[in-house]
């Protein structure tokens, strides 16, 4: 029996469809009473397990090997945790005429989360950029986000009505940081098992995030939070996010050129420095915002789908910009990764739309 595949012409990430379906289920059948307590407990356990897996999967050796390209990694980190938050703070001037305070809290939060890993690598590969640098940059960003995102949230979200409090710091340490460190410590013993069962665990990852989304939106429905949002506000949010993405794509591309980076490095910087991780952001939001998490994750969900669609187009265009003579050096190998040219794009099609 043949396995059904998502149509290649469909521009929407199938996982986004699953997320939207989960939101719909939460709207129609929100958890109440005992069911809500069970869902909340399961969501908390799922978040902790997610970050244990993140820690167990992150190869410390690969991260250390990538430190040799420190200028590129510092550039990506600056874009992710400095430029993005500054643009998020600048958007405060849009409250309350364009964005509601609740939507602005979610918008500001999206500027604080780390970069993606899988899609950054896939798009960099598709565009024939520096794939090893994209791998390391995404890993460093995710690792830094474990610490920097909560710290930035504590500093910037306290006065925005996002529900952040000092208790959230303790929750972050217990639910996110401790499991992550435990994963790193136990990687030596569980790393092989995770590698052998990565497909199954990938489904566990995505299922856990769906549970987090259901719990957050279900609680929002019970509390009547969705009555605060109208269609004009949502369209305004999409417009603001489109401007944010455009600015970051332009800044990472032309800014990297001004800093003296070559084309392959600029591609890695653009894709790693302009995107935000849905997989890392959703669990963090559930811890940081509590009952307000439903509206807090909405801007991130919309931005995630937007960045996938736009970056897919850019990556294809970048790959067409080069001729065969441009992408191979004197020994016929890819000048970016040292691999044959075909290897640079072999896995891109299968991973470009994976949620991360």
Domain spans, the chain: 28-320
Q: What is the C-alpha separation between 284 and 323, in angstroms, rounded?
A: 43
Q: Are 161 and 101 in contact (CB under 8 A)?
A: yes
Q: What is the pLDDT of residues 301-340, one digit of tens each?
A: 889 888 988 988 898 888 877 644 344 432 333 444 334 3
Phi, psi of 353, rounded to the nearest 5 degrees: -105, 15
Question: For 177-229, what is each residue's pLDDT tens digit?
Answer: 788 888 888 988 888 888 788 777 777 777 887 887 788 778 777 766 666 67
Report pLDDT for 75.
Answer: 96
Give first-to-last CA distance, the chain, whole Å: 30
pTM: 0.74
- Which architecture, in CATH terms, is 28-320? Up-down Bundle (1.20)
Tokens representing 99?
């964005």
pLDDT at 347: 41
Give the per-residue pLDDT at 276. Answer: 93
Q: Which residues of the chain have pLDDT under 50?
A: 1, 9, 161-163, 323-353
Q: Are 54 and 194 in contact (CB under 8 A)?
A: no
Question: How far apart are alpha carbons 57 and 236 in whole angstroms?
Answer: 38
**Token duo for residue 136:** 């390391």
Residue 163 to residue 105: CA distance in whole angstroms: 9
pLDDT at 79: 97
Question: Can you give the pLDDT at residue 333?
Answer: 37
- Rounded CA-CA distance 138/135 in Å is 5
C-alpha–C-alpha distance, residues 328 and 160, integer Å: 51
HSE at residue 200, side-chain half, CA atoms within 13 A, is 5
* pLDDT of res. 10: 52
pLDDT at residue 250, as a whole number:
97
């Amino acid at each position: 029996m043949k396995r059904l595949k998502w149509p290649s012409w469909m521009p929407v990430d199938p996982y986004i469809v699953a997320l939207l379906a989960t939101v719909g289920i939460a709207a129609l059948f929100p958890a109440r009473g005992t069911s809500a307590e069970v869902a909340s407990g399961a969501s908390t356990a799922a978040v902790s397990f997610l970050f244990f897996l993140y820690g167990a999967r992150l190869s410390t050796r690969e991260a250390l090997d990538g430190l040799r390209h420190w200028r590129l990694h510092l550039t990506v980190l600056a874009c992710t945790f400095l430029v993005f938050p500054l643009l998020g703070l600048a958007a405060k001037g849009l409250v309350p005429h364009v964005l509601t305070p609740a939507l602005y809290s979610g918008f500001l939060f999206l500027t604080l989360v780390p970069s993606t890993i899988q899609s950054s690598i896939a798009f960099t590969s598709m565009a024939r950029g520096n794939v090893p640098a994209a791998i390391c940059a995404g890993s460093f960003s995710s690792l830094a986000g474990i610490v920097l995102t909560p710290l930035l949230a504590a500093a910037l979200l306290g006065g925005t009505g996002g529900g952040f409090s000092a208790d959230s710091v303790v929750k972050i340490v217990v639910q996110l940081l401790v499991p992550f460190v435990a994963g790193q410590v136990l990687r030596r013993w569980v790393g092989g098992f995770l590698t052998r069962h990565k497909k199954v665990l990938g489904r566990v990852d995505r299922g856990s995030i769906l549970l987090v989304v259901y719990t957050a939106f279900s609680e929002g429905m019970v509390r009547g939070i969705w009555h605060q949002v109208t269609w004009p506000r949502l369209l305004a949010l999409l417009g603001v996010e489109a401007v944010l993405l455009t600015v970051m794509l332009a800044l990472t591309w032309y800014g990297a050129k001004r800093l003296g980076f070559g084309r392959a490095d600029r591609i890695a910087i653009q894709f790693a420095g302009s995107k935000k991780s849905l997989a890392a952001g959703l669990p963090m939001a559930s811890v940081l915002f509590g009952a307000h998490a439903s509206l807090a994750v909405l801007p991130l969900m919309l931005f995630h789908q937007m960045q996938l669609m736009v970056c897919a187009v850019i990556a294809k265009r970048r790959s067409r910009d080069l001729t065969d003579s441009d992408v191979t050096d004197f020994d016929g190998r890819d000048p970016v990764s040292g691999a044959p040219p075909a290897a640079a794009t072999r896995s891109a099609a299968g991973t470009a739309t994976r949620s991360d």
